[in-house]
Structure 1
Amino acid sequence: MLLRSGLMKLGHILVALVVAAGAVAGGTLAACTVDDGPEGGGAPAAGTCDPALDAAFRAWSRAGFSGAVAISTAGRFDCLAGYGSANQRTGARNTADTVYSIGSVTKAFTAASVLRLADEGRLSLDATVGSLLPEVTGPVSAATVRHLLLHTSGLAGTLGADHRPLTRDAAVAAVNRLPLSFPPGTGHAYSNAGYTLLAIVIEAVSGMSYREYTLASTGGRFWDGEPAAPGPRATGYLDDGGPGQAGDFTGPHWALDGNGSLAMTPRQLATWMRSAPAPGTGVDVGEGRSHALNGMVAFDAAVFGTPVVAIAGGGGDVGHDVAAVWVPQRERAIVIASNRPVLTAEKVLAATIRALVGGGDLPTPSAPAAGADLTRAVGTYRLDTGGTLGVTAADGRPTVTATGADAVAALFPPGGRAAAFRAHEQRVLDLLAGRTGEGREERRTLEREHGAVTGVDLAGTLVADGETRTYVTVRFGGKALLGWYAVDDHGTIDGVELPTPPPALALVPVGGTRYRPDDPSGTGPDVTVDVGTDRLTLTTPAGQVTARRAG
């Protein structure tokens, strides 16, 4: 399987926080019907938590959240608690002292190390990459350290799959081959590769390995390799229910070092957030946000009522998701970690951030309404335009799966994003046609694994986990594989999964024969499904679409 992730979704998940914060303030949260088993039910593991906070997080746990919470104010912890299972096989519980891979929250630690070297006078933020690393001879050599910190170097994307071996020399060689999306300092493109370069800069300036200096500078330890984060680890679970990478990848680790390799407990991360460097002068990325010099995203007071600094890390093949927030005026640190995809840390934060930042009661999911027995509607339904909607009800969980671009658009309506979706689709088609340097490399990767590419067909576009994903059917001679690509505005890959199942939407009853997305965080598609014995009707703000039972 081809699987890559942007690891930190600051370009899109934290946009979702802005949208969800407004939606939650004036709306009702849908319910989720996941049963966490004997270790679940919302009961926290050992720890301390303000009763009101604990009651709210118990409700989120009953709705599917499995993970841990660490919240402090002025250095005193208001909540240290775990919810759900850290390992479904052993029955181990999540706690605030369970270790999680923090993904792209790593970037804040890399930035902190760079800023420390600058404070010590050992490094200038305006030094060019080429002056610090003579072996870097590609276009990015003209970019400065400041450009790398702010994602304005023009270097976009990643240097390799998360858990495939990549040496330092191979990482440098890959960087030298990459063209820039724009001249340094003239644009903005989120870059894992840029933070890999910063890790190499740290080595050159400090005289220590990146990992040694990270430990000495910030206390950070790692999910894979040494120095390893000590303590009991949460097993991450992927979308298919299987366990994620366990932290036993032997490396070399340069695909993730600098941009996504650290691990720690929620308690440790919340404590560190208090001492993290100030944001400094950043680069405006819209909607009240700026990428900051400290590797995080700064929100101005207009977004949540007070300035906030936040960072998130997830995706990839570990199965963890971590979100961390610092509220300077309240001296409040908020860390949520999760190890299941049903209701990730970022989704819980999206629903609760306004209350956690400004005070007040946390919103919680409502109970599902009594509904019709969807098992009578199990089957395949065809749209007049040719796509299909498949209804299943395994384990009492109704799910609708969309096959075909028209079916995806019906189940995941684009709303006001239709033009942006079309532009994203064109960038994906250009990529897979090999019209860019990264696109030609992507085709070579696909053809090494599956044979010659003979065609690419669009299969729908939607927003998932805060990022725009375009599904495509890629044909290789006698076989065809469905996959999705997420690319940035410059056509650089943010994430890819191929092959992948068709997009699906879990449902909960809202009364009568009507169902809504099983989406407690309120960030999912705005669609109502009305089920019948011979047809499904999808209702969205744009109107209705009906599919009729096939066969």
Structure 2
Amino acid sequence: MRRFFAGFPAGLTAVALLLTACGAEPTRPARTPEASACDPALGRAFGAWAEAGFSGSVAILRDGAFECRAAYGMADTGAHRPNTPGTVFSIGSVTKAVTAAAILRLADEGRLSLDDRVGAILPRLRGPVADATIRQLLLHTSGLNGTHGGDYEPLSPDAALAAIGRLRLAFPPGTGYVYSNAGYTLLALVVEHLSGRGYRDYVTSTVLRLPGGRTAGGFWDGSPAAPGPRAVGYLDDGKPGHQGGFAGPYWGVEGNGGLAMTVPDLAEWTYALFTGRVVTPASAEVIARAGWPRGDGRSETPGWVAFDRSVYGERFLSTAGGGGDVGHNAVVAWVPARRRVVAIASNTATLSAEALLRAVGPALLAGRPLPAPSASGPAATPARGGDLAAMVGTYRLERGGEFQVSAEGGRLTVSATGASAVRALAPPGAEVTEAALRAHEQRVLALLNGQTQEGRRERASLEKVFGAVSGLTLAGTVAKGADTRTYVTLTTGKGPVLAWYAVNEEGGVMAAQIPAKPPALTLVPSGGAGRFRPDDPTGAGPRVEVAFEGRRMTVTGAPGAVTAERSG
């Protein structure tokens, strides 16, 4: 059953802040990719963030030379294998930047024009999307909304083409914006058709070829695989994520996700792209030029998001991807004025690559030392096990909902079941309005009640796995970065199933996890007896305090305080 769709657009809020980066003299890339080299002060700062939970790799490139190339944490905790700069990560939706480059390269070769109708190139394509242009697909303005297949659903090119043709458009092509994985799979089908070599062969033999002849990575599933040792991704619950091995065919994710590479290779490929070594300089300018305006100083470009000077005082482009079954997060940024690339990938949910950028970016922009992680991170002093044992149990709210408290490693983990409990434990931040959360819930309900084309497909998919769905109940909504997730308890033929969905404003599914675990928060002591705060090294998570007194648990946050009584 689908857990998470590849290519969910991550919320980039601080990538541009890496504009002044390291102060060390650049060094030319070493021949041994596992070798680490970074300015000592920056290395110590990133080391502190590693102690606070960051596990992954960092590469900063300027004028084709590395300013920093380092890795932290464990690639595989069970095997005690550390991450190195040579460790391979899934790059998720960053794949779209590669697919866009493949399209621009075909344009350079005279095989297509960006204003060609996709139906003219793929005459077997049916449905309204056939009238969309290649440019509109690149900029997510084709109107395509919804999904054409799951990540690990065996889907042939013909089946993918037919499924995409059946999708309805949210608006006439060229009149709006909605992020579409299906649109980039359609572009991959264009590459497949026009190259005469297949999407995978064309991308790896041509588009990912670095100066000097080396290829930057490959695929996470299937062949040609990205060479090198892989990082195991660890999901929200700490379990290992998908490590490859899906036999395909891969057209649920082809073109919109699925590539993998080392972080230094990602940085080098990005530099080669924007300096006209992957596509012509004219096509590189097309990729770098602001395209469809999205507001707040952002605009869509082919495979990237462009930020103008009004955002952080410097123009830059960025793209990110990750999440889902693999458990990786990757982000890369290009700063044209400084000819600098910043690339980061992570393999745990504790502190993602993007969260690290948000935490350290402002200091880098101002030329200050990187901030230290919050004292509430994993380096914080744990509580004594005996003290925590007295707090473990189930706590029920008077008006419904409950908290389940467990203890491990000197920390408490609290999970919330029911809308009231979820709202108390994970209150929305100031940037998310109550109206927006309620609107999201209504779109999820409309989806699961089968009121839309995609909703009917989703309902049928659920019933195929879990039996007849006879009811559904809202179980709370949380805002996690750019991701709003509405939890729903489904009454099915196999019993109750908890799921969460993230949908766009047009009702299309962007991500889903089925079955899901209740939202949870890890806590550390906050100083007073029986008082705890979130274990959050960035300080950007929910601002709540949890206090225990006798058989009572009180959660205090922006919505106020709620008290739950321990049962049993």
TM-score, length basis structure 1: 0.91
Deviations 1:389-410 (A, max 9, x none): 2221122221111110011011
Please give the alpha-carbon distance, in whole angstroms, between the structure 2 residues aligned to 1:350 and 1:139.
40
Give the structure 2 partner of residue 300 of structure 1.
Answer: 308
Quickly say closer, same or farther: Cα 1:108–1:354, change in 2 above 3 A: farther
Quickly say closer, same or farther: Cα 1:68–1:478, change in 2 above 3 A: closer
Quickly say closer, same or farther: Cα 1:361–1:157, change in 2 above 3 A: farther
Quickly say closer, same or farther: Cα 1:300–1:378, change in 2 above 3 A: same
Secondary structure at 1:362 match in 2: coil
Identity %: 55
Asked if residue 434 in structure 1 is aligned to residue 434 in structure 2, the reply is no
Task: Select which of 461, 470, 473 maps to 2:489.
Answer: 473
Mapped contact 2:374–2:536 kept (Cα < 8 A):
no
| Between 223-232 and 96-105, the greater mean CA deviation after superposition | 223-232
Asked if residue 399 in structure 1 is aligned to residue 388 in structure 2, the reply is no
Please give the alpha-carbon distance, in whole angstroms, between the structure 2 residues aligned to 1:385 and 1:398.
24
Quickly say closer, same or farther: Cα 1:86–1:483, change in 2 above 3 A: same
Kindly state the Cα deviation for residue 542 of structure 1 after the two structures are TM-superposed. Answer: 3.5
Give the structure 2 partner of residue 266 of structure 1.
Answer: 263
Task: Select which of 479, 484, 493 maps to 2:509.
Answer: 493
Correspondence 1:124-143 to 2 at 5 A: 124-143=113-132
Mapped contact 1:327–1:357 kept (Cα < 8 A):
no
Give the structure 2 partner of residue 5 of structure 1.
Answer: 5
Mapped contact 2:424–2:559 kept (Cα < 8 A):
no
Task: Select which of 207, 218, 226 maps to 1:217.
Answer: 207
Deviations 1:156-183 (A, max 9, x none): 2332221221110010110111111111
Please give the alpha-carbon distance, in whole angstroms, between the structure 1 residues aligned to 2:203 and 2:381.
53
Kindly state the Cα deviation for residue 78 of structure 1 after the two structures are TM-superposed. Answer: 1.7
Please give the alpha-carbon distance, in whole angstroms, between the structure 1 residues aligned to 2:239 and 2:564.
33
Give the structure 2 partner of residue 333 of structure 1.
Answer: 341
Correspondence 1:153-172 to 2 at 5 A: 153-172=142-161
Please give the alpha-carbon distance, in whole angstroms, between the structure 2 residues aligned to 1:520 and 1:483.
28
Please give the alpha-carbon distance, in whole angstroms, between the structure 2 residues aligned to 1:342 and 1:151.
31
Kindly state the Cα deviation for residue 371 of structure 1 after the two structures are TM-superposed. Answer: 7.8
Kindly state the Cα deviation for residue 383 of structure 1 after the two structures are TM-superposed. Answer: 2.0
Kindly state the Cα deviation for residue 388 of structure 1 after the two structures are TM-superposed. Answer: 1.0
Give the structure 1 partner of residue 30 of structure 2.
Answer: none
Correspondence 1:415-434 to 2 at 5 A: 415=429, 416-434=432-450
Quickly say closer, same or farther: Cα 1:425–1:6, change in 2 above 3 A: farther
Structure 1's consecutive aligned runs of 4 or more residues displaced over 6 angstroms after TM superposition are: none
Asked if residue 190 in structure 1 is aligned to residue 190 in structure 2, the reply is no
Give the structure 2 partner of residue 235 of structure 1.
Answer: 232
Secondary structure at 1:390 match in 2: strand
Give the structure 2 partner of residue 53 of structure 1.
Answer: 42
Task: Select which of 268, 290, 294 maps to 1:281.
Answer: 290
Asked if residue 536 in structure 1 is aligned to residue 533 in structure 2, the reply is no
Asked if residue 460 in structure 1 is aligned to residue 476 in structure 2, the reply is yes
Give the structure 2 partner of residue 349 of structure 1.
Answer: 357
Deviations 1:460-514 (A, max 9, x none): 0001353000000011146110110110111100111111111101112222143
Q: Mind listing any 5+ residue stretches in structure 1 that lack a counterpart? A: 22-44
Asked if residue 206 in structure 1 is aligned to residue 215 in structure 2, the reply is no
Give the structure 1 partner of residue 563 of structure 2.
Answer: 546
Give the structure 1 partner of residue 398 of structure 2.
Answer: 384
Give the structure 2 partner of residue 26 of structure 1.
Answer: none
Counterpart residue identity of residue 91, structure 1: H
Give the structure 2 partner of residue 360 of structure 1.
Answer: 368
Q: Mind listing any 5+ residue stretches in structure 2 that lack a counterpart? A: 18-33, 210-215, 274-283
Secondary structure at 1:100 match in 2: strand
Please give the alpha-carbon distance, in whole angstroms, between the structure 1 residues aligned to 2:522 and 2:563.
19
Give the structure 2 partner of residue 39 of structure 1.
Answer: none
Please give the alpha-carbon distance, in whole angstroms, between the structure 2 residues aligned to 1:237 and 1:404.
26
Task: Select which of 303, 309, 313 maps to 2:321.
Answer: 313
Quickly say closer, same or farther: Cα 1:79–1:497, change in 2 above 3 A: same
Please give the alpha-carbon distance, in whole angstroms, between the structure 2 residues aligned to 1:181 and 1:105.
24
Kindly state the Cα deviation for residue 7 of structure 1 after the two structures are TM-superposed. Answer: 2.3
Mapped contact 1:371–1:514 kept (Cα < 8 A):
no
Please give the alpha-carbon distance, in whole angstroms, between the structure 2 residues aligned to 1:503 and 1:309.
33
Secondary structure at 1:530 match in 2: strand
Correspondence 1:501-512 to 2 at 5 A: 501-512=517-528
Please give the alpha-carbon distance, in whole angstroms, between the structure 2 residues aligned to 1:217 and 1:401.
45
Kindly state the Cα deviation for residue 349 of structure 1 after the two structures are TM-superposed. Answer: 1.8
Mapped contact 1:112–1:218 kept (Cα < 8 A):
no
Kindly state the Cα deviation for residue 281 of structure 1 after the two structures are TM-superposed. Answer: 3.0
Counterpart residue identity of residue 399, structure 1: T
Secondary structure at 2:82 match in 1: coil
Task: Select which of 101, 104, 111 maps to 1:112.
Answer: 101
Secondary structure at 2:403 match in 1: strand
Task: Select which of 396, 413, 418 maps to 2:427.
Answer: 413
Correspondence 1:44-123 to 2 at 5 A: 46-123=35-112
Quickly say closer, same or farther: Cα 1:305–1:233, change in 2 above 3 A: same
Counterpart residue identity of residue 235, structure 1: V
Give the structure 2 partner of residue 25 of structure 1.
Answer: none
Mapped contact 1:68–1:338 kept (Cα < 8 A):
yes
Mapped contact 2:467–2:494 kept (Cα < 8 A):
no
Please give the alpha-carbon distance, in whole angstroms, between the structure 2 residues aligned to 1:60 and 1:229.
28
Counterpart residue identity of residue 475, structure 2: A
| Between 484-493 and 341-350, the greater mean CA deviation after superposition | 341-350
Kindly state the Cα deviation for residue 6 of structure 1 after the two structures are TM-superposed. Answer: 4.4
Mapped contact 2:45–2:370 kept (Cα < 8 A):
yes
Count residues with an aligned counterpart: 524
